[in-house]
Amino acid sequence: MENFQHSSSESFPRLYLKDSNSEMHVESVEDYSSGNYDLSMSLKDPAHPSFAIFLEALQKECSRRGLRFLLVHEGNVQETIEKIRIGKLTSGFHLDFFSLWHEANEPFAKLSQTIQDCGGKPVNSPHRSRLFTDKAASHFELSRNKLGVPRSLVLRPGLTEKTTRQMIVSFLGKKNPTWNGGLFLKKGNGFGNKGVTHLKTQAIDELVSMVQKTLGADPSDSYLLQEEVRCGFLQTSHGLTRPAYWRVIHCLGTFHHFWWKPAEYCSPGEKSYIPLEAQEIRKFRLQPLLDFAEELREISGLDWFSTEICLQEKPAYSKYQVRADDGSMLPLVSIDYFNDQCDVHVQSQWHGAPPDLFVHTVARRFAEHATGLSRINNSRKAA
């Protein structure tokens, strides 16, 4: 089965942009002036329905603990940054759901950086988010640590057409003779399937032309040309046949593992996310999957991220391998390396979203973490 790198209708939080014909109803968001906040959260459009349940759960968890909560959006982000800089406002713990780390002077990225510079704690270090959400940079780190990744050609900015052609021809000439899939061209700082092009042609001239055209759309970014990875199928403990493809989400020390497939590939009544159960981990010998995700956490230093890992159906190099029933060893391969702004829509509203229980669990975990940081800060002030 081919991997899920096709253009998708699925939306991720960072893609939740206001439509050009819609209005952003910021009047429903509580206003603020100054003061100390225990937990802040940034959203471009606070009225977007994909965040409604999570936002409500987060606010309830804060209210139960007596935490002050601040929602920062497109209408107040610049004012918030200025108030933090001059000491009129503080945030002890910050959840970022929009920063475009690769864009210069992007306001939500500046907000996270300013909070950190002034003593607060963003859920992820801005520096590490900026580094590891760049696919070209994270591809290098995973390869250096001998983790399974698709065979790739990294195309840096500034290459001439002649050099690009030579690199592509050389890359294709070294392919595995048993490989017969397509290619994916990925923008280094694309996200949520934006900046992903599926190339099915085998003609060199046509392929080079398509790659050059895509590179020209944003000559300042790196691109990855990757071989398509194919995975097999496994039967879950509930009798469902699912791709050997998982989305793993890490939240402040806890991993959440799911069988995953894109919403548009789900049959009627099927869900994108299905929790991976402990008995399934034992049955399919998937401890290496857990170890792979743990090493990604160690390498990145991110406290809140998702990744996608599949079990490639043909042998390939990877530090983490799973023993199949026939005794062969199959490699675990990371497809989507790091996403630092995870999906918090709910399954009860859309079949492509994670389970409601997961969304409420991470909302509670964020509030618990903010409570701990608040106690530490108060103890320091008292001392």
Domain positions in the chain are: 30-126+361-382, 151-227, 233-360
pLDDT at 2 over 60: no
Go through the chain and tell me how many residues it has.
383
Per-residue pLDDT averaged across 21-41, rounded?
Answer: 62
Q: What is the pLDDT of residue 190?
A: 76
Per-residue pLDDT averaged across 173-194, rounded?
Answer: 76
Q: Which tops the pLDDT comparison, 319 or 104?
A: 319
Residue 51 is classified by DSSP as G
Of the listed ranges 27-36, 85-94, 222-231, 364-373, the least confidently predicted one is 27-36
Q: What is the pLDDT of residue 10?
A: 38
Residue whose C-alpha is closest to residue 371's, from 128, 124, 121, 127: 121
pLDDT at 7 over 50: no
Q: What is the pLDDT of residue 119?
A: 96
List, for residues 193-238, the tens digit of each pLDDT value. 666 888 876 678 888 888 888 888 888 899 999 999 999 999 999 9
Residue showing tokens 């989507």 = 336
What is the band of 74 on the pLDDT scale with cuts at 50, 70, 90?
Answer: very high
Per-residue pLDDT averaged across 312-332, rounded?
Answer: 94
Q: How far lies 279's CA from each of 98, 244, 284, 323, in Å? A: 36, 15, 9, 16
pLDDT at 11 over 60: no
Q: Which CATH class is domain 151-227?
A: alpha beta
Residue showing tokens 């048993």 = 178
Pick the CATH number of 30-126+361-382 from 3.40.50.2300, 3.30.1180.10, 3.90.420.10, 3.20.20.70: 3.40.50.2300
pTM to 2 decimals? 0.89
Q: What is the pLDDT of residue 177?
A: 60
Q: Which tops the pLDDT comparison, 345 or 191?
A: 345
Question: Residue 167 corresponds to which tokens in the numbers above?
Answer: 């690199």
